[in-house]
Amino acid sequence: MANLTPTNLLLGFEAVTEEFQKPEFRVPNTAALSTAIVGAQNLNPFAELRTREDRATWFDFMISKADEGATERLYNHTGGSIDSLRRQITWGTVVDTFSISEKQCDNNSMGFAGVFQAGIRNSYQKNLVKFDNAFLALLKADVTQINLGGLTGRAQWDAVNNIFDIAAAQKAYTMALIEANMNNNDFNNQLIALVDPVMFIDAKNQMNQGIGNATNLAYQFGNVSLVKTNKQLYSGFDGSAIVFPAGLMGLTTWIPKQNRKDIDEEKAMTTVNGDVGRISIPIYDQNGNVMDTLDAAISIYTKRADTSLRNGNKQDLLTEIEISWDYAYLSAPLSTARATGDFAGKTDSVIYAYGVLSD
């Protein structure tokens, strides 16, 4: 490992400006995460229920009652009762670590503060990438297995892969077909469509076919907000999307209660036990703008060490830094009310997958 040796103060070099280092530490694409912040659930504060990493947390919800087939008013009418269910919340964790020694930067153009800040940024960006990937995996795992809104001749339900296939010839009407299908499943409010780069390019082209052009396709975007991820969502398609009603899907993040304070820098940098605290991490939208922030846990401790093999000294102080946070995914819970007929035994969800078939 180079361990900062390329930038030792041997000649008259100077570290480049912060602006020039942005390409190396470029903002990761966390557009998928921005949809979770946009559609964050506002139910019980799950993070407050979890007092420690090993404490199980659950949420309760009501489920609808089936129609009992009554056709007239009766003096002795009877009916079933509304029911409820309980579901456990599953948590995941993202962690990244780095280290820096006191003497590693004594003979280096970067300086201790510059290297430390670069390490912090590098760690939380690596965590954001893992967080975004984990969220996409959770979204795809939650895709509905029940779709009652077929559009014969234009799009059809693939019950094997749980994705709504849009015919290649209907590509120009993708968003209209998505909205129609969601409406047929009784989702009529604002929709969020997380789209891959191919579908985004096609959608932008359709958006710009205004009233002055030969074909006006802009009408189909009134109820759908597009969010572009740079990741492939589904292979084998000429563009794909994951769509859900706004406000019905979200993420909850959590850090230990010991971290919910500012870190004591002197204690962290000078003692073996160190200290723990929190730092604020930005969540970026598809345009690289800060959409929201989350609290991350930071743990720092310092110990004596021989860092001579990493551009330090045989008598040195080595500081170890860890950045982490836990997360839980949640979409609006659904009962098995629609799991009948061909969909018996299937799982219902507010998350829908769409793919445009290739020619």
Q: What is the DSSP string of 215-283?
A: S--GGGGTTEEEEE-SS--STTSSSEEEEEETTSEEEEEE--GGGSS---HHHHHH-SS-EEEEEEEEE
Which structure tokens are listed for 262? 């500012």
pLDDT at 208: 60
Strand (E) or helix (H) holding 117: helix 112-141
pLDDT at 209: 59
What end-to-end distance do the CA atoms of the chain give, in Å? 49
| Contacts (Cβ under 8 Å, ≥6 apart) of 56 | 88
Residues 234, 350: Cα–Cα separation, whole Å: 18
In 28-177, at which residue ranges do the beta strands (DSSP E only) sit? 57-63, 83-89, 91-101, 155-158, 163-166
pLDDT at 26: 57
| Contacts (Cβ under 8 Å, ≥6 apart) of 23 | none
CA–chain centroid gap for 250, Å, is 8
What is the model's pTM?
0.79
Backbone angles phi, psi at 178, to 5 degrees: -60, -45
Q: For the segment 193-224, what is each residue's pLDDT rounded down to a tens digit?
A: 999 999 988 877 766 655 555 454 444 556 78
Q: For the segment 289-346, what is each residue's pLDDT rounded down to a tens digit?
A: 787 788 899 999 999 989 888 888 899 889 999 999 999 888 888 888 888 888 999 9
Cβ 268 vs Cβ 302: under 8 Å: yes
31-38 vs 112-141: helix axis angle to the nearest 10? 70
Pairing status of strand 249-254 against strand 316-331: antiparallel
Backbone angles phi, psi at 2, to 5 degrees: -75, -35
Q: Which amino acid is at 278?
A: R
Report the chain (359 residues): mean pLDDT per 10 consecutive residues: 62 43 59 62 57 70 69 76 71 92 77 83 91 92 91 88 94 90 90 91 70 50 80 92 88 89 88 90 80 88 89 88 91 86 92 93
Which residues lie across from 276 on neighbouring strands?
Answer: 299
Residues 275, 346: Cα–Cα separation, whole Å: 48
In 3D space, the residue among 231, 201, 226 whose CA is nearest the CA of residue 129 turns out to be 231
